[in-house]
Structure formats: structure tokens, C-alpha cells
A and B are shown apart, each in its own frame.
Chain A
């Protein structure tokens, strides 16, 4: 994907997030402005606690900011209620987390079907698993698969409904080097073949080289945004 700017999918304007922890307030985000563009692969970099997850959760409708506005396309998300946000997640967002969060009682195929069943225009669950290279193992339960394989099922589950955005929070955090790279390849493939706007959170700077754009956070603020001139393929990365 080129870095040529298409129209923004998300627009965040001076969003802040404060967690109340009893007496003390923890500020996770302080006035973040951000645009995410259709089709791009953005990597969010930052130390632990810098506010990456908070930002992504707000974009994906899992959480609400304490201040500021978020627009998804033309719609303002900030005023949406829980039911609206549920519908938004259902239609438009795919999530991938560090811990795969598969349903242990469902097979790989069924974990994906869980989503295709409630989506409007999904691909078939088999195709989704094919895309992540797991069709041969689709009848296996999570406990019968390796961590990397489970994460790929989680990705298949996230993209099966053809979401407009794919949000990945430390998708390789729990994986070893080789499996981690395999998972990144899958994410890259989804982004390039389906054109899904993709955001990947990591604290591993090496991964940033596969992004169209890199957004760096520190203490709840965006401190740097840059476009990669020569984006690397995941197999070219090393750390």
C-alpha cells in the first residue's frame, strides 16, 4: 500500500483519557490528534504504559475517551452509546489481542463461524482460515494448536466479516521469533490483499519497518509520526 493519503477512516481530535483509581487520577492519554487512512498499515510504537492500548480501544469502540472527539468516517463516535458501539464493533472492526482469546470450546472453524454468523457480508469461515494458512487444521480445538496458530485463528476470526479496520494489540507479544514473524506475515497479507485498514501495536521497534506509517507515543502523547520510505516485508524483519 502506498502512503498516498486517501480519505481518513478515523479522525481523533484532542482525545484524552483519565482513569480514576480511588484518590488518584491516572492520565493515559492527553490530547491526542490522529488520522488513520483507508488501507494503510499503521504501527503504534511506545513503551509499556504509554497509552497505546487505551488509544486503540477507544478507536475500536471498546472504551470511551474522557474528552475530545472521535469520528469514524463521517460519524461522531464520542456520543455513541453502548448499543451503538456494539453494533459498530460487530460491523466494522476486527480485534486481535496479545492473548488470543479464542473460545476453547469451539474449533478453529467454529471460532470463525461465531463471527460470520452475525456479520452482514462475511467471507466463508473456510476462506478466512485459508487466508491465514490454517485450512488443514480447521477442525482442531484451541488447546490442540500452538500459540502462533491460535493467533492466526484469531486473525481469521477478526477479518472474516471483512471489517473496514483491523486493530491488533501486541499480536506477537506472547509468541517466539519465528511464529511471531509468521503472524506478522498474515497481518501484512490481509492488509495488502483485502485492503483492510490495519493498526498494529507493538513495543518492538523492529516491527515498525513493515508499516506504511509509524506513530510513536510517550506518556499519553504522540511524539512522532513518520512514513516509511521503504517498507519491509515481514520476512525481512529481524530483532
Chain B
């Protein structure tokens, strides 16, 4: 174990020196103001049209109800609308504004919205060239000629990756809080958020619904987001071991993630799709009580699927990496 810590240190500093993490920060610094601006436009528009958020919420409910009466809308879609109506009604009945504009609400919804695409993309920026990058530059040979077992080298890379996944998520939350706070104010930590909606068919069972302060909700969604980000990180590490070039490794992972999000949006009747990892990434859905993309999915199911994929990826990467010939 004593020989592992210097290796982790080495890997961590290597990623830092390669400025991968700066890219992540830069992307966040550009994109978060864009989203904040869009959000502010929406808020201004709503303030213009509605004096009171309750009236706005009621209008939203009525609009959803009107959509339900149209025959052109597919049944799965109607079902999710029906559920949304019941949840919004619950908020209205308890006089709680589900999207009051403040920095914490923004950060919370930003994390929730980016769990399937944006966070994985940022993770890929660090993870994808962890091994393949060293191979294309040839430094992998230097690393492997040291008197250290190969599995230790890969393990140190995995640990460093874990650290950077956490840092990426932390940076996302902090930056979105700081930037959106300029426009929306920095309050909102203690606002109540409802969680615990249980969905049965198109009915919402609200007997287990309870209010939690928003900071606690953000804390929980961050934890769930971290788990999906880690799954992506493990898979990206595997691809990076298997594929020679960094570009190929990023493209492979992106293709898998985008395919998953397309499948999710299709409200698929193809039930076995639920075993694909990228369909299961949206763990915060379960916290908000949105209907799962495919029937029969639950939090436990999704977490297990993600865990199986992550563990399989780790096993593959270790067994390949320890036996692979490093030719170049």
C-alpha cells in the first residue's frame, strides 16, 4: 500500500499538469452564464405575464390538462403529464413554489439536467486519455519500466480519476451557485422541496411525500450524480485501455451516452433497453419522482445496472492492461 500513494500523487499531478481540469472549468465558465441568462429570460417573462407564482403554476397545470385531451399525443407521454399534474398540484396545495428563482434552485436543476449528458462529457475530458494518451505519446513505456506492478499503476490511475470526478462535480455545483447567484440571489438553502412521490401506473401515491430543505435535496442529488459519473469514468477508463487513440476513445463513449439518451426519449417499448447503462444514468429522476423511461425501472434497479457495468469495466480494464503488449 505504501507504494500506491506516490503513484496516485504522480497521476493526480499529471492530470493537473496536462490542464485537462482547466478545460473542464473553462467549459463550465462559458456554459453556466449562458444557461443562467436563458433561465433569467424565462423568469422575467413569467414575471411579466404572472404577478403571482401560484397563478403561473395553476396555468401550467391547466395547460398540461389540456394536452391530455388531445388524441395526437402518445399514451406514454400523457402518462408522464398526468403524473406531473398531480405533483404540481401537490406543490400548489401546500403553497410551495417548485421553481422559485434562486441560486440553489438553479444549481439543483442544473445538476439534474446535466446528469445524463453534460457531466459525463466533462468526466470524459479527464478520463478518456488516461491510458490511451500515454500510449500515443509513448510515456507509457517509461511508466511500465519502473519496478511497480502493472495493476498498481492502473489502480493509481483509477483512484486519481475518482478524485477528479468528485472535483468536477464540486466545481459544477460551486460555479453554478456562484454565477447564477449574481442574477437570482444567493438564498434558497432552506426552501422546502418535496420528495418521495411513488408512481403507480399513471397515479401518484403521495402518502410518503415529505418536505426536505433544498440544501439536503442538492446534497442527495449530488450523491446520485456522483455515482452515475463514476460509472461513466470506469467505462471510459476501460475504453481508454482498449483503444489506442484518445479521439477514438472519446467518440466511442460519447456515442454510447448519446444513444442512451435517445433511447430514453423514445419512451421505449423495447424493454430490454433498460439494461443499457446509459439509459440508467438519470438517477435524480427517482428523487424528483418522475416516471422512469422504461417501465419496471427503479432506483435499486438502476444502481445495480450501473454497478454491474462499472465492475465489469474495471475487471476488463485490469485484465487487459496487465497482459497487454505495449508495442507502438
Answer whether A and B are interacting partners: no
